Chains A and B, each alone.
Chain A
Amino acid sequence: MRKFKWSNLYLILVFVILYVPIAYLILYSFSKGDAMNHYHGFTWAHYAALFADTRMIQIVIDTLLLALLSSLIATTIGTLGALAIHRTSRPFVKNTVLSLNNILMVSPDVIIGASFLIFYTALKIPLGFGSVLMSHIAFSIPIVVLMVLPKLQEMRQSMLDAARDLGSTNAQILSRVVVPFITPGILSGFFMAFTYSLDDFAVTFFVTGNGFSTLAVEIYARARQGISLEINALSGVMFVFALLLVIGYYFIQQSSQTRKAKHKAESEAKLNEATH
């Protein structure tokens, strides 16, 4: 029992460390001062300023829209790519493709941003939402591949053989065996892509135009003037919203899964009876 407690303590510690800076940010969103130092007493003023700031709200909406859409598309392309790499049997080709895959991860954002900008202007692609979306998809794909590929490698050949012996077509194997097996990897890839998109500043800066802006660009551009606590208030709101979304999603999924599990257990029991 004692060991059990220690392990819980460790997890609690990890979570505390992960959340301390965020608690700090949110605490200061209620401070009467102008910056993140010397707490000056409680106020709602920064939240009021935030909700009156239409430009900021517009930026937040655009940022979320961009992050969701780009990570969805990147996850799709990345997963297909991981399947393609997995099918390659020659190690040299595989290593080469994986190296190419990781280039965007190892290159600093300024290089990526500058080269994408040159690329778009050379092809006369207008700068704005479209160019930013393409860039976000582009730099999110590698992380998706990195998350999905190990799951594919864990998959046992015997499983696929069994499915084929049972007469499944390739499409069926893919949708009934492979995809369910790699789903955790796909979801991780999606979340990581979402994170990449939300956090990117340099690439977005270079390829944006036409009045389109994201939250990260706005925050970095404000650094010279000092980031106002309105941004803290915004982070607080977004954080609480995401928290509720995550918890809500989890419990909805939980309840549907227990139902399914019950269902499955029942049918298995029936099957057992039948075979005995």
Chain B
Amino acid sequence: MKRLISLVVAILVAVAGLALWSAHLQKSQGATGDNTLNLYNWGDYIDPALITKFEKQTGYHVNYETFDSNEAMYTKIKQGGTDYDLTVPSEYMIEKMKKANMLIPLDKSKLTGLKNMSPDVMDRSFDPGNRYSIPYFWGTLGIIYNDKFVHAGEIQHWNDLWKPQYHDNIMLVDSARDILGFSLVSLGKSMNTTDAPTLQAAKGKLDELAPNVKAVVADEIKMYMAENEAAIAVDWSGEAADMMAENAHLHYVVPSEGSNLWFDNLVIPKTAKHFKAIYAFLNFMMTPKNAAQNAEYVGYSTPNQAALKLLPKAVQNDQQFYPSEAIIRRSEVYQDLDPAVVGMYNDLFLEFKMYRK
């Protein structure tokens, strides 16, 4: 009993010490409540040096909270109890949030950097006229291959994935829309297909791909490809950039028949409170110099034309991450589909995963 009591006392002392330390740190970071900006973003999706710079320049304190999926973020904001000022959903989620009346329109008169944005990324179907959102990063869906196992030029099209020589050598990203999506494109259909027979056909074609599929994984795909675990992967350009930084043998191809275009845009959710800080931050991030610095840190494609000009020539001319007008025109942006259709996509994909082997 004595031993237990002394242990409890020791733990309480440790707790008190930690609480004091935590409070001290909070104060030293200048968080006082009113002058803050609550930023809700993906983990490590902004250069921390930029946050420090913003805080120094404007005197606002940035509270940086993180999420790991669009849907999880949506649930949190919808359920309430939080006061996030800015968040960064992907395009289909922006449409969904708009429909759920969860976004506040932008006050364009307070924005100074919109002219820096590339016209390719503005005024897209998910947010006509950019009433609610400002592009943060963008990219494509494509194929990554390892030149140790696959010769350059061997893979140019989605249909090349079905070649028998790639038996047990392809990794797919665990995302129903994207995997059924490329199967649809390979059949010459739209990635936003909603009718059941076409989806069934795409699933049928995917089943034929099964012998080539080594695994269906998510974020860890970067580690696998960097470790030469598979020759080919289907993944987003952002992830591709991350793994190519680790392994020089990797290359990224966007099939010329078309692909998916994705966007991560900054939006103001209904929970927002600190509007001065929000617009200060948006303008800060649209400044070409800052946007370029952020693109260099994150490694994704920047939507900011003026910022792109500040990046090294090799980056500017990189067809892998800044594809030609023609490919962009042939690519599709995901629409927010009816929940029942989303359910159909997921059920088909689940069946594909369950019964391959």
Q: Do chains A and B touch in the complex (CB under 8 A)?
A: yes
The answer for the CA separation of A179 and B81 in the assembled complex, in Å, is 41
For A68, the chain B residues whose CB sits under 8 A away are 11, 14-15, 18
Interface residues of B in 15-58 (CB under 8 A from A): 15, 18-19, 21-22, 25-26, 28-29, 31, 38, 42-45, 48
In the complex, the answer to whether A36 meets B223 with C-beta atoms within 8 Å is yes
For B245, the chain A residues whose CB sits under 8 A away are 34
CB distance from A126 to the nearest CB of B (A): 7
A57 in contact with B66 given A34-B246, A35-B223 (CB within 8 Å): no
In the complex, the answer to whether B43 meets A218 with C-beta atoms within 8 Å is yes
A127: interface (CB < 8 Å) = yes
CB distance from A272 to the nearest CB of B (A): 25
For B279, the chain A residues whose CB sits under 8 A away are none
A170: interface (CB < 8 Å) = no
For B22, the chain A residues whose CB sits under 8 A away are 58, 61-62, 65
Band of interface residues on A: 35 or more
In the complex, the answer to whether A175 meets B1 with C-beta atoms within 8 Å is yes
Residue pairs across A and B with CB atoms within 8 Å: the count is: 128
B222: interface (CB < 8 Å) = yes
The answer for the CA separation of A47 and B136 in the assembled complex, in Å, is 30
Interface size on B, residues (CB 8 A): 50
B162: interface (CB < 8 Å) = no
B226: interface (CB < 8 Å) = yes
Which one, A127, A186, A218, contacts B66 given CB within 8 A?
A218
For A205, the chain B residues whose CB sits under 8 A away are 67-68, 72, 76
In the complex, the answer to whether B18 meets A222 with C-beta atoms within 8 Å is no
For A253, the chain B residues whose CB sits under 8 A away are 3
Dominant secondary structure at the A interface: helix
In the complex, the answer to whether B242 meets A225 with C-beta atoms within 8 Å is yes
For B324, the chain A residues whose CB sits under 8 A away are none
Residue of B64, B79, B247 with highest tally of chain A CB at under 10 A: B79
Chain A interface residues toward B at CB < 8 A? 33-38, 53-55, 57-58, 61-62, 64-65, 68-69, 72, 114, 117-118, 120-121, 125-127, 175-176, 179-180, 183, 186, 205-206, 208-211, 213, 217-226, 228, 253
Chain B interface residues toward A at CB < 8 A? 1, 3-4, 8, 11-12, 14-15, 18-19, 21-22, 25-26, 28-29, 31, 38, 42-45, 48, 63-68, 72, 75-76, 79-83, 218-220, 222-223, 226-227, 239, 242, 245-247, 298
